[in-house]
Amino acid sequence: MTVQTALLQGAKILDDSGIPAARLTAEVLLSHALGRERTYLYSYPEADIGDLAWLHYGRYLHERLQGKPTQYITRKQDFFGREFRVSPDVLIPRPETEHVIEQVLALNPHPSRIVDVGCGSGAIAVTLSLELGCVVFATDISPAAAAVARANAAALGATVHIVVCDLLAPVGACECDLVVSNPPYVPKSQLESLQREVRDYEPVTALLAGEAGTEFYERLADEGKRVLRPGGYIVLELGFSFSEPVRSIFQHGWDHISVLPDLAGIPRVFAARRTR
Ligand SMILES: C[S@@+](CC[C@H](N)C(=O)[O-])C[C@H]1O[C@@H](n2cnc3c(N)ncnc32)[C@H](O)[C@@H]1O
């Protein structure tokens, strides 16, 4: 079986089952099975893939057809130009979340204490630590997610201290300069309507808020007010159509409020300053 034939067959099987980006997915899965970069597939289309890679490739295609996200098969996802390890214990970092990083960098902070709440894979905490060249603190309620974040911090050489706890519980009053978070924001009633890749594979603790979806924003507004020093910022990823509800949650005790859109024009990143 040559690279080219394996790709054609894999892409057709995926496409026939309605998997989006079938050709790209086949390329990612085949290069993962071969332990090679994707460029190899284009450089050596006539190369024989061998029995072992064929077996692995078949298994990966089967898993993807069942709905497993490609990133949980390859166990990796790029975020802000770096490769993060992911497992089903953590949310797969999304490209939209890179706007959270851009907003923090645009605020041009020189913070002595940053906390990333709900760090998951560590995508935000590790990236900020490396981009700003500083220590970042991070929390997550899931010990398994914290372990993934620790491994990513170590692999990428970031200094991130990770604590397993509920939001900002162990952080003292006025101890932070910047709080950042991509909190769970799916309303309970919408769980069933999520894509099966998300609903059946990503951790429910990373997705689900409460009945309204805004519950974590309410808690972060209260806790943010407590832990941020006056003049410190909070930067949050927004769930779909949450711009106005979150603005009204942050009505008192905050100023310099802004909401930035993502590339699709959807309001995506909320920022507010703790009043001085
Ligand atoms: C939407 S995910 C974000 C993960 C990562 N920051 C990212 O952007 O890819 C939300 C994270 O919050 C964590 N989480 C949920 N409830 C929490 C709580 N009460 N306290 C701390 N973390 C929580 C979940 O375990 C999950 O890792």
Q: How does pLDDT run across 37-94, given as a tens digit for each residue?
A: 999 999 999 999 999 999 999 999 999 999 999 999 999 999 999 999 999 999 999 9
Provide the whole-model pTM: 0.96
E-only strand ranges, the chain: 76-79, 82-85, 114-117, 136-140, 160-164, 176-181, 228-237, 254-261, 267-274
268 Cα–ligand 1 center, Å: 17
Tell whether ligand 1 has an atom less than 6 A from the beta carbon of residue 121: yes
CB 231 within 8 A of CB 274: yes
Candidate of 80, 142, 236 to mutate for ligand 1, largest count of ligand atoms within 8 Å of Cβ: 142
> What's residue 181's pLDDT?
98
Question: Per CATH, is 77-274 categorized as 3.20.20.80?
Answer: no
Tell whether ligand 1 has an atom less than 6 A from the beta carbon of residue 69: no
Look up residue 53 and give its amino acid: A
Q: Encoding tokens for residue 272?
A: 């507010």
Tell whether ligand 1 has an atom less than 6 A from the beta carbon of residue 167: yes
CB 123 within 8 A of CB 79: yes
66 Cα–ligand 1 center, Å: 26
CA 234 – CA 250 distance, rounded (Å): 10
Average pLDDT for runs of 10 along the chain of length 276: 98 97 98 97 97 98 98 98 98 98 89 93 98 96 98 98 98 94 97 96 98 98 97 96 97 97 96 96
CB 184 within 8 A of CB 205: yes
> What's residue 136's pLDDT?
97
CA 14 – CA 148 distance, rounded (Å): 30
- Helix, strand, coil percentages in the chain from 3-state DSSP, rounded to 5: 45, 20, 35
Q: Is 15 exposed, middle or buried (0-12, 13-18, 19+ CB in 10 A)?
A: middle
Q: Atom 26, ligand 1: which residue's CA is nearest?
A: 206
List, in sequence order, every residue forming a beta bridge with 117; answer none if it has no partner.
Answer: 139, 181
Look up residue 269 and give its amino acid: V
The domain limits of the chain are 3-66, 77-274
CA 231 – CA 265 distance, rounded (Å): 29
Cβ count within 10 A of residue 215: 17
Q: Atom 19, ligand 1: which residue's CA is nearest?
A: 166
Tell whether ligand 1 has an atom less than 6 A from the beta carbon of residue 181: no
> What's residue 110's pLDDT?
80
> What's residue 111's pLDDT?
74
List, in sequence order, every residue forming a beta bridge with 78; answer none if it has no partner.
Answer: 83
Choose among 172, 91, 76, 147: nearest CA to 124: 91
> What's residue 108's pLDDT?
74
184 Cα–ligand 1 center, Å: 6
CA 140 – CA 3 distance, rounded (Å): 42
